[in-house]
């Protein structure tokens, strides 16, 4: 099995614009896959997703055909080849072309092999169309939204939020590979992270470090030893604004895999109790496993999307509730590339409704004098400040103490890198 086959199969499992998942047979895996092949497969997969609109445009340009007339699997094979030709300097053009031709045959598109060969050879002879531009609409024949593969409605929304000057830098940020950043856990020093062949660079946010290269085994080892945790500075900063005292009862309303749950416990200590909730069976199972591994007994996990559905919690009043709601992920498009294709108005309206329902469900369980901390990884005001405004109109018993909206860093300097997001601290009067 080649890295390209693995990338193509994984790509085919994703629902992307015009590319529905096919019933593609999984590639045959050997007993052990070279980590370098896995890394290349991941690079190709993410790269094609981030550049899908541009790659489909190139397929139409080079073929002279509309995409609807081309088999979707053939489109994906071509996209994998074109991504290598235009974005990966270390792969010879001949290797990318030949592998795509053979891949078409392996995945049952033998009749299209000649077509694939012709398109990719034409691409090798043409000029590059992916060079960056400092002007938001400098090339009318290839608009910036298309060159940067941000859907037109998303690009227009970004222009309204950021203005023409920063929209290109924002989209280029989304298309870069984000660095791996870790938060040093209590009781350890930066010197404890020193590892042969790994560069540890201090981040501008104290207690955080950029790791290069980010080896999966090393990161898992650090997490298991409770030495360091992979986390973005914007997400990590939320808990620092939570007013927590020893002995309190806390709620992590949308706990996920428990990254912020563990941060809450670091701040609370052992003298107190945390209730973690999440509607996902798998996420709750993994969080329970982590707690058992670390012998943590003052965090209980409930698989539920609503407090009302957990009888044990019906009469609980929490000193602090963290409501880290599901959102558009518009502040983390560099890390969640598929999210750029789900930023429609309809999708946002649906999310805003869910966020409001979660906040309302939680509000009645915050004790008088207690706090509700609302957070997202979104940059849209509708999910952030305006969502909190609407909540306060519905719940005048709460007041806003402080809030912060953060845009993703536009600098290529990894020591200054951070995602976008928002948090607000509300107090029940």
Q: What is the pLDDT of residues 362-411, one digit of tens each?
A: 999 999 999 999 999 999 999 999 999 999 999 999 999 999 999 999 99
**Residue 298 shares a structural domain with residue 377:** yes
Is 335 a member of any domain? yes
Lowest mean pLDDT among 15-19, 203-207, 273-277, 321-325: 15-19
Element (H, E) at 270: none
**Residue 51 shares a structural domain with residue 162:** no
**Residue 281 shares a structural domain with residue 404:** yes
**Residue 93 shares a structural domain with residue 156:** no
Is 135 a member of any domain? no
Is 227 a member of any domain? no
Q: Last residue of a domain, which of 136, 156, 175?
A: 175
* Full residue range of the structural domain in which residue 165 is found: 144-175
Is 59 a member of any domain? yes
Mean pLDDT of 2-25: 88
**Residue 154 shares a structural domain with residue 296:** no
Select from 225, 206, 215, 174 the least CA-distant residue to 50: 174
Write the CATH number for 372: 3.40.50.150
pLDDT of residue 282: 97
Q: What is the pLDDT of residues 119-164, one digit of tens each?
A: 999 999 866 555 544 443 445 568 899 999 999 999 999 999 999 9
Helix (H, G, I), strand (E, B) or coil at 273: strand
Is 199 a member of any domain? no
Is 217 a member of any domain? no
**Residue 350 shares a structural domain with residue 381:** yes
Q: What is the pLDDT of residues 20-79, one digit of tens each?
A: 887 776 666 555 678 888 899 999 999 999 999 999 999 999 999 999 999 999 999 999
Is 215 a member of any domain? no
pLDDT of residue 104: 95
Q: In which residue are the tokens 């020893």 written?
A: 246
Q: What is the pTM of this model?
A: 0.92
176: left (phi over 0), alpha (psi -120 to 50) or beta: beta
Percent of the chain with pLDDT over 90: 88
Domain count, the chain: 3
Any bridge partners for residue 230, and if so which?
182
Select from 164, 123, 174 the least CA-distant residue to 143: 164
Other residues' Cβ atoms within 10 Å of the Cβ of residue 165: 11
Q: What's the mean pLDDT when you consider all of the chain?
A: 93
Q: In which residue are the tokens 């008088």 written?
A: 368
Is 220 a member of any domain? no
The C-alpha atoms of residue 78 and residue 75 are separated, in whole angstroms, by: 5
């Amino acid at each position: 099995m080649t890295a390209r086959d693995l990338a193509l199969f994984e790509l085919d499992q994703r629902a992307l614009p015009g590319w529905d998942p096919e019933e593609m047979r999984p590639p045959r895996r050997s007993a052990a896959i070279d980590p370098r092949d896995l890394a290349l497969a991941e690079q190709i997969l993410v790269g094609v997703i981030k550049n899908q609109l541009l790659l489909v445009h190139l397929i139409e340009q080079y073929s002279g055909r509309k995409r609807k007339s081309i088999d979707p699997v053939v489109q994906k094979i071509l996209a994998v080849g074109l991504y290598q030709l235009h974005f990966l300097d270390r792969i010879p053009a001949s290797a990318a072309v030949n592998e795509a031709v053979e891949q078409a045959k392996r995945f049952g598109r033998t009749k299209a092999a000649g077509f694939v060969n012709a398109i990719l050879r034409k691409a090798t002879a043409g000029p590059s169309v992916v060079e960056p531009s400092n002007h938001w609409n400098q090339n009318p024949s290839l608009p910036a939204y298309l060159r940067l593969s941000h859907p037109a409605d998303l690009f227009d929304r970004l222009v309204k939020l950021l203005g023409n000057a920063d929209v290109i830098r924002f989209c280029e940020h989304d298309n870069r590979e984000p660095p791996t950043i870790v938060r040093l856990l209590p009781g350890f020093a930066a010197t404890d992270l020193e590892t042969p062949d790994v560069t540890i660079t201090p981040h501008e946010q104290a207690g955080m470090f950029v790791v290069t290269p980010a080896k999966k085994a090393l990161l898992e080892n650090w997490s298991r030893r409770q030495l360091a945790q992979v986390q973005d500075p914007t997400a990590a900063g939320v808990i620092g604004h939570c007013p927590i005292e020893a002995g309190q009862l806390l709620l992590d309303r949308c706990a996920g895999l428990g990254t912020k749950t563990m941060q809450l416990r670091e701040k609370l200590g052992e003298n107190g109790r945390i209730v973690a909730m999440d509607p996902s069976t798998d996420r709750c199972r993994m969080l329970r496993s982590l707690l058992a591994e670390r012998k943590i007994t003052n965090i209980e996990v409930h698989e539920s999307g609503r407090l009302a559905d957990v009888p044990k919690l019906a009469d609980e009043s929490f000193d602090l509730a963290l409501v880290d709601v599901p959102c558009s992920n518009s502040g983390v498009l560099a890390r969640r590339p598929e999210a750029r294709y789900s930023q429609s108005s309809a999708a946002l309206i649906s999310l805003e409704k869910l966020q409001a329902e979660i906040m309302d469900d939680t509000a009645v369980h915050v004790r008088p004098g207690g706090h509700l901390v609302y957070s997202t990884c979104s940059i849209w005001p509708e999910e952030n400040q305006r969502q909190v405004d609407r909540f306060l109109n519905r719940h005048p018993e709460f007041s806003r103490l402080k809030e912060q909206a953060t845009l993703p860093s536009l600098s290529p300097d990894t020591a200054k890198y951070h995602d976008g997001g928002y948090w607000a601290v509300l107090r029940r009067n």
